[in-house]
Every structure is written in structure tokens, then in C-alpha cells.
Structure 1
Amino acid sequence: MSGSVRNSAISWIAVDWGTTHLRAWAMDAAGEVLAEASSADGMGALTRDGFEPALVRLIDGWLSDGVRLPVIACGMVGSRQGWVEAPYRAVPCRAEAGAPVTVETRDSRLSVHVIPGVMQPEPPDVMRGEETQIAGFLAANEGWDGVVCLPGTHTKWAHLSAGEIVSFQTFMTGDLFAAIAGHTVLRHSVTTDSWDTEAFEEAVADAISRPEKLAARLFGLRAAGLLHGRDGASATAALSGYLIGAELAAARPYWLGQQVAVIGASKVAAHYAAALANQGVSANILSAQEAVLRGLAAHLDQVKATT
């Protein structure tokens, strides 16, 4: 938790519950963050009866006897393996329009509501959590039409028009980076958190123009380290550049000639914005935390009407 907080000032609790992490924010009536907390109790580490104890462990200090606080949650907590299955809504749909599913709790201090995800029948695709970030982006950018990129383990590209998610596509770019960097021969080359901007930009440009050569380019990183002493910072940036470049090549119908925004953590969002800039596309950036909090708040009136 960041600092102390008067429990009487807390109006509701915002929760972003993914596969690997649980994040919560104590919110006041004006939508300001009073405190925040996180844990490694992601959906992937919990059985169904473990969700409520994990949440209470994290936010117990914010709860008061005799006061039932609304908790609005998004993400994998609403998946089939989550606390409760919140059914998908099909595109086209408004990002903030899905009615949250109420969860039965043993702790009388909690009133928990889970936001449903969004699905696309053809080509088949799903999202959980990103729809809430999109709702938050639209709340801050009313009337915005274009494309949003939400980079992460599974990066989403979504076309938005007239306040609706029209279509979207998912790329496993983050998963691929982690798997290649940690479980292939490139683990000997990608060994640093440092960054080489020039290597990144060159790799992005090469992958966009020659995506069919991706597998060969990746092994070339290992060979360049052995034969020419290519350092870890350069190899790390190039690996990221090749994968993001291949993604941009495949997602070209989404971003080409469109108004584009990137919603994500500052570091990875900046990489995507730089890659797009090299293609002549200027992207607005919104932090993932700001977007998810705005998106969760968009459901507040609806939830309070049920509590």
C-alpha cells in the first residue's frame, strides 16, 4: 500500500486482476487514488475458492466493519478459470456497456462486481481487461475514432468507431519475446536490461519490410554475438524490434492511414510509439493505469445502483 489512508474517505475499490498479478486501488468519491496495493496472486495461481482470500489479504486494511464497499474488477478474474465467469460480449459493442457480474462473497464488507470481456466470432478472438482500458481511453477522448494498440503479453489492436469496439486482433508478441529470450539459444545473447535504440529501429524496419525472414534474423542475433561480439543491449533491442516489426507488418491494415493511440506501461508503450513513428505514424500514449481506472469508474454508477 502507498501510504496511509482514512477508511472513511474510501468510496470504492478498483481492481485489475490478470493471470499473474492482482492490483487494487482505494478510490475516493471524486475518482482520486487514495492508496494502491499489488500482489502476485494472479488468476493463474488461484483456485476458485482462493480469490476472495487473496483479495481480502491485499485490501483488508482499507475495509471497515459495518461498511460494504463496492469492488469493481476487470481482467482474467472474469474468465472461465477465474472467480466467476463473466460472459463475453460480441463486437461491435460499446466498451463500457457490459453489465458487471456480481460475485457472492463471505466477507460482508465486500460487494464485488466483475466486468465481462469482449469476443469476436470471426476471426475468433477474445479480450479481458483491455475492453476496460479502451472504455477509459474513450472516457478521456470522447468522439475519438481510430485504432488503439494495447501492448503486453498478448498485444491487442482494436478498431474503434462511434464509441464502439468494431473489430480487434491479438498478437502474442510479449509471450514470444519471453519464450525466445528465456528458453531458446538466444538466452545466451539477450542478457541485459540495457537498450540500444539504433538496433531496435533497424530491426523494426527490417522486419516490416521482410517479415518472412524473421526466423533467420533471430538466429542471426546469436551468430553476431559469437562472431562479432554483439552485446546484450543490442541483441535485446533487436529481438524486441524484430518481433514488434513483424507484428506491425501483420497489423498494417489497422494502423495504416488511421488515427492511432497506444495504451500501456510507459516503457513498452514508448517502444511501440517509436516503431510507429518510424513508419510515419504519430501515436498518442495513455498509461495503462490511467486507462483502467477511468474504465472501471465508468461502471461505478451502474454498480452502486445494485448495492
Structure 2
Amino acid sequence: MRFLSCDWGTSSFRLRIVNLEDATIENEYVNDSGIQSVYNSYLESDGNVNRVHFYFDFLSNEIKKMADSLQVNLEEMLIVCSGMASSSIGIKELPYAGLPMDVMGTSMGLEYFPISKEFNHSLLLLSGVQSADNVMRGEETQLIGVVRQLKDFSGKGIFILPGTHSKHIWVNDNQITGFKTYMTGEVFHLMANKSILSKSVMYDSADNVKYKEVFAEGIKEGANNALLSVLFKTRTNDLFDRYSKEENFHYLSGLLIGNELTNLVEEKNTEIYLCSEGKLHPNYVLGMEILGINPKVLPMQWVKQAVIQGQIQVLNQHINNDKNIFLGSF
């Protein structure tokens, strides 16, 4: 039994052929056709075009490209779609689930689209979650997938999901009870590329002791001071020749990550789970170590599999409850 996993973000698009039984990824197809660019194309199209049909046409074309490149038959295969696809600029805007929301996926908002003449695939669209003052779409699916892989989870913890908009998610009694969004990645991009600080930083992919020392200094400064009062030090570091532009790049990164993580220092009685991968992983591990935070650092492979595991968890819940609507979808 296989399905197509679609992880559709604001600026990225990912399709995977997934084995439902063991969550193995058989093939993957990725590009930068995120929801925002597809929505912009929709706005530029004929105003009489049905929005759902427009997105389904896009999906049909991408699936055909994937099938042709891999020489596989993907006709009529069920798609499970999470991320920004259920947002106001996605396939169809779905209401957010409210808090508390269980981490087994039973209370997640979703909508099922059966195969039609216009679209030769059935599609299960997953929605997001909202609190009184915050929203997320996609991270809740990741969280469900992470918890699914934890063998001895007590039902309580704080889960840290770094990214452009980092999420800190509180779980109690196997329910998401609250979450915060930190615009760490986006602010870093703006400061490093669009602000006056951009003249004082330069990316260098090298990994050396000096960069780690400077990053650590940034972590401490960001954690112990109001962020707006220390950001400009990135500029003066350069003006006073304290750090090179390359070193300053890591200092700025440390400032922002340190400021984000300082909120966890007082969480002494709750298990903290770091769910990170890629380039951000060593920075968050080191940042937490510097601040005396002792998380359970989850294997990066678990984090890479989180969306798929979350989609499978939700799908299994609803196959069990509504098996008749999924007949023939695999």
C-alpha cells in the first residue's frame, strides 16, 4: 500500500512515494514551486477558474513530471497533503483545529477529495492549529510524526522545531496545549541581507573553532540582553575590527538563536525535545549546551521522517474510522 506524501510549504514543494506499512520513502521529487508562487499564478489566471481545479491541475502536472522522470505509474494514487496547502492561499482554506489538540491526529481538521473527472487522484488535505494568538500549518503534522516515533513518551514535553519560523510546542497529557512562534530564521535573513548589518556580515561555509567561539559569544549576548539593544553590535564588531565579516555572520546567528532559546532556561521540570536537521542542527545543539539546556536531541533521520510519519498517523486514524471512502485509493 503506497501513497503520495505532499509537503507543500510557502516556498517549497515536495512529493514522495511512501510505503504506508513501514514509512519508507521509495522516491522523492522536490522543487521551489511553493504555495505562494502557485497562488500568484492563480491570481494572474482567468478570474473564472475554480481555485481547487487550478491547484489540482498544477498537482497533475507535477505528478506527471515525477512519474515520467522515475518511469513509474502514479495514476489514481492517494495524496496526503499538509503544510500551507490548506491556508488562505492554498488549495482550499480549512478551519484551524483548536487547542487542546491530541498528538494522535484524531482531532486534526481535514477534508477528503475523491477522484473526479478533473483530477485523477483522491486527496486528503490536512489543516493546521490555532491558539488564542498564534497559528501553525505543517508543524503540527511534524509533531504528530515525531511523537509517533518516540517509544517511551510520557505524554508531556516541549518540542523545539527550528526553522524560518521556529516553533516551540507544549504537550501535556498527549495534547498540544500551547505553542510559540519565533521568527528567528526570517529575521536573520532580513538582517543579513536587507539591513545596514548586511555590510558587516559575509557567509562562509567553513567550520572552524573561531566561528564556534564567536557563535557562542552571540548566544550569550542574545540570551542575556534585549535583542534590539545588541543587534547593532554586529555593525560595531565590524567597524572596530573586533570580528571579520565571516565571523560576524556567526555572531548574528548566535544573537538570534540565543534570544529564542533563553525562554527555555527556566523550564527545569519539563523534558525538552530538539527536533532539528540540516545546517540548523549543530547551532541549536551548541546553543542549548551553552545556555545549560539539556534536551533530548532526536535523531535527524526521525526529524526528516516526521512529516511522513505524521501523515501516516492521521491517515491510519481515518482509514480505521472511514475505511469505505479510501477503498481503491492505494
SS at match of 1:266: coil
Please tell me whether the aligned partners of residues 60 and 119 of structure 2 are also in contact (alpha carbons under 8 angstroms).
Answer: no
How far residue 34 of structure 1 moved from its aligned partner, in angstroms, is: 0.5
Match among 52, 58, 61 for residue 54 of structure 1: 58
- 1: CA distance between counterparts of 2:117 and 2:84? 21
The correspondence of residues 289-300 of structure 1 with structure 2, limited to 5 A, is 289-300=304-315
**Which residue does the alignment assign to 1:130?**
139
Match among 159, 163, 187 for residue 152 of structure 1: 163
TM-score (norm 2): 0.82
For the structure 1 residues 256 and 155, does the alpha-carbon distance in structure 2 shift closer, same or farther, using more than 3 Å as the test?
Answer: farther
SS at match of 1:85: coil
Please tell me the residue identity of whatever aligns with 2:291. Q
Please tell me whether the aligned partners of residues 168 and 181 of structure 2 are also in contact (alpha carbons under 8 angstroms).
Answer: yes
How far residue 185 of structure 1 moved from its aligned partner, in angstroms, is: 1.2
- 2: CA distance between counterparts of 1:26 and 1:81? 25
SS at match of 1:272: helix
**Which residue does the alignment assign to 1:87?**
95
For the structure 1 residues 256 and 175, does the alpha-carbon distance in structure 2 shift closer, same or farther, using more than 3 Å as the test?
Answer: farther
- 2: CA distance between counterparts of 1:258 and 1:185? 39
Instruction: Mark the runs of 5 or more structure 1 residues left unpaired by the alignment.
Output: 1-9
Q: Is 2:181 the partner of 1:170?
A: yes
How far residue 14 of structure 1 moved from its aligned partner, in angstroms, is: 0.8
Match among 235, 256, 259 for residue 222 of structure 1: 235
Work out the number of aligned pairs and report it.
292
Match among 215, 218, 221 for residue 206 of structure 1: 221
How far residue 75 of structure 1 moved from its aligned partner, in angstroms, is: 0.5
Please tell me whether the aligned partners of residues 262 and 286 of structure 1 are also in contact (alpha carbons under 8 angstroms).
Answer: no
How far residue 184 of structure 1 moved from its aligned partner, in angstroms, is: 0.6
Q: Deviations over 1:61-89 (max 9, x none)?
A: 44748x42111111111112210112111
What's the RMSD between the two structures over aligned residues? 2.1
Please tell me the residue identity of whatever aligns with 2:83. G
Q: Deviations over 1:116-155 (max 9, x none)?
A: 111112xx01110000010011101143421101111111
SS at match of 1:35: strand
How far residue 108 of structure 1 moved from its aligned partner, in angstroms, is: 4.3
The correspondence of residues 264-283 of structure 1 with structure 2, limited to 5 A, is 264-283=276-295
How far residue 41 of structure 1 moved from its aligned partner, in angstroms, is: 1.1
Higher strand share: 1
Q: Is 2:10 the partner of 1:19?
A: yes
Please tell me the residue identity of whatever aligns with 1:141. L
For the structure 1 residues 23 and 274, does the alpha-carbon distance in structure 2 shift closer, same or farther, using more than 3 Å as the test?
Answer: same
Match among 24, 36, 45 for residue 28 of structure 2: 36
**Which residue does the alignment assign to 1:45?**
37
- 2: CA distance between counterparts of 1:26 and 1:162? 33
Match among 208, 224, 238 for residue 251 of structure 2: 238
- 1: CA distance between counterparts of 2:318 and 2:33? 25
- 2: CA distance between counterparts of 1:269 and 1:261? 13
Paired-residue identity, %: 25
